[in-house]
A and B are shown apart, each in its own frame.
Chain A
Amino acid sequence: MSRNWTAIRTVIAKDLRAVRRSKSITIPMISVPAVLLIVLPIGMGIFATSAPTEQMESALSSPIVREIVKPILELPSRERLVVLILGYMLSPLLLVIPLMVSAVLAADSFAGEKERRTLEGLLLLPIDDRDLFIAKVLGAFLPAVAITWICAVFYALICNAIAWPTLGRPFLPFTQWTITMLWVAPAVALLALGLLVIVSSKAKTTQEANQLGGAVILPLVFVAAAQSSGLMLAPVIGVLIAGAFVWALALGLITFNSRRFTRDRLASRA
């Protein structure tokens, strides 16, 4: 069946316009990236560029650690700490952005329609269930990915600027970092979205969806942050496989949700 892209685009544009006017959505969407992009890299970067290198040498002296952090050990010793902190320890936190943005937007898009009592009006329009679902998913997914990528560019610029006096060259992006941002981050956004759609179908309000979603998404945040530090140090194929795993999980969830996204089910709860 052919998709009605005009209707899909119209729903997405309407949702994004409404979101831009909602402080409860825009504030967390601005404040979290601001902390991750500006406060943390500047604070940690200043520390890393001024800290004594002896402590770093001793921390990296264990044989196992030496094997894992080989890319860092190949650097001159005065560069190691700043690259380690900004490139390998902090930058994985960027994966929190697609998680958070897609979760917030999905809660507003799915549970929010019920809460605002606009869902029935939407269901009364001549648009296929599948098209409506695609519009709702893309309306959360595309901004989450776009914001993540914009944040990643800003993060790279800020980190390179902070590290420039020590390195005298840019160190971001490197291959694993780029693949994580371009391949893994969108999958993470879709995964969060898939989970939030399930949660939102049970919730009556955006707040309830966010609370329920928090319980589901927060552990994912910790897992993502913890695992993605490893991702940065893994071989390229490892990053690609990890991304593929998240994509498979996310697409499975989205497919499951799309089958349950029917007017009948929605109107029964509207």
Chain B
Amino acid sequence: MVNSTAEPGFQRHRARNLGATTPITLFARQTVAVTAAISTTDLTRGFASGLALDGVTLSVEPGEVLALLGPNGAGKTTTVRMLNGLLAPHRGSSMVLGFDPAVDGNAVRERTGVLTENAGLDDRLTTRENLEFTARMRGFSPEDSRRRTDELLERFGMTERADDLTQGFSTGQRKRVALARALLHEPEVLFLDEPTSGLDPTGTRDVIELISGLAGEGRTIVLATHFLGEAGKLADRMAVLHRGRLMAFGPPDELARDLWQGIGAEIDCGGPIGEAKLATLRGLPGVIEASDHAEGVSLRVDDRATVPRIVAALVGLDVPVFGAEAHNPTLEDVYFAVEKRIEAEAGAPISDGFLARDRPRNAHDEDVS
């Protein structure tokens, strides 16, 4: 087990051999034993408005990036708060780096960093003051606080704004400062709650690059998001939450095998091809599913070899083909397959678009839970 005497500051508190062995459930069929950086068992939490988290069991391996997916109100923020000891479970338990957040909250918080959805900077303080306050609270000496703050300002390109109040900062700048703050003490586990919400495309790209870099350093990352794009780029495994329940959990490709037959194919026809021609495609051997959209046709086929046959059929139907590409199921494909399954079980659509397939501009929806 991990030593429990925490010495905050620059010193990192490595906890590699944690001994917490937790079964991973993949639709309650597959179980895999791993040594977990994070594990939860039947984690449940309610509020006056109802259950925010309902019997969630999952685990995250050291160095892994877990995408916690789900729409607003799915329970992502509640999960992050519970794993950091802010909210106590009403049922079940969790372990983070060998500590129970409900019992040893400070021990967990000394080892984790959290980027909250709203950056949570004190706008009456400067960038430097915000960071130095956090550093002092994490046990850094005044000198180390200044040194570490300077390092992070440099790393996140905020040196020129170091002595400005954060009040007038853009969302992107605020996220940078908040991310710097979350990394001050070199946390072993990093929780990122909606890291790109409210960002413009450039800001989004910058933040995703920063997170990719952090993931590359071997840090355990829990990425709570309702944007599939960023999750798809970063995640080793995904956990799909819906109304507080864990609907799917595992590596995207494993989930895909469970949920998805075949591979995807995109054919650029310059526009939709119409229902009659789609019906023809659906009748071809090896075609599992076909639909058209503004740029052409999306298909699911049993094998890559089916794609040329489809292209030939389209040409035969006098449909121009500008390009064709086969691809393995993406996290996005898997997610929407999960959504379909949930809808089928619920007997009705879950919402108008469960998650954001395409990033909305100026999105800043708050997770209510």
Task: Give the interface of A toward B (CB within 8 A).
Answer: 6-7, 10-11, 14, 17-19, 21-22, 116-121, 123-128, 263-264, 266-268, 270
Contact = CB atoms under 8 A, between A and B. Distances in A.
Given A17-B125, A18-B124, A118-B120, A10 B86 contact: no
B87 A117 contact: no
A267 B109 contact: no
Contact of B134 (A6, A21, A125, A128): A125
Given A123-B86, A268-B87, A118 B121 contact: yes
A1 to B, nearest CB: 11
A124 B87 contact: no
B137 A263 contact: no
Q: Which 4 A-B pairs have the closest CB atoms?
A: A121-B120, A267-B86, A18-B124, A126-B106
A117 B106 contact: no
24 contacts: A7-B136, A7-B137, A11-B137, A14-B129, A17-B125, A18-B125, A19-B124, A116-B122, A118-B121, A120-B81, A120-B116, A121-B178, A121-B181, A124-B109, A125-B137, A126-B109, A127-B137, A263-B86, A263-B105, A264-B86, A266-B86, A267-B81, A268-B47, A268-B87
A172 B187 CA distance: 58
Interface in B108-136: 109-110, 114, 116, 118, 120-125, 129, 133-134, 136
Nearest to B141: A6
Contact of A10 (B105, B106, B133, B178): B133
B84 interface: yes
A115 to B, nearest CB: 11
B117 to A, nearest CB: 9
Contacts of B139: 6, 126
B125 A14 contact: yes
B85 interface: yes
Contacts of A127: 106, 137
| Chain A facing B: main interface SS | helix
B138 A125 contact: yes
A23 to B, nearest CB: 11
B270 interface: no
Contact of A126 (B6, B86, B120): B6
Interface string B131-165: 00110111100000000000000000000000001
Contacts of B307: none
A253 B138 CA distance: 30
Q: Which of A7, A121, A266, A268 has the most CB of B within 10 A?
A: A121
Contact of B87 (A7, A18, A121, A264): A264
B241 interface: no
B8 interface: yes
B45 to A, nearest CB: 9
Contact of B110 (A116, A117, A126): A126
Given A7-B137, A10-B136, A124 B84 contact: yes
A127 to B, nearest CB: 6
Contacts of B136: 6-7, 10
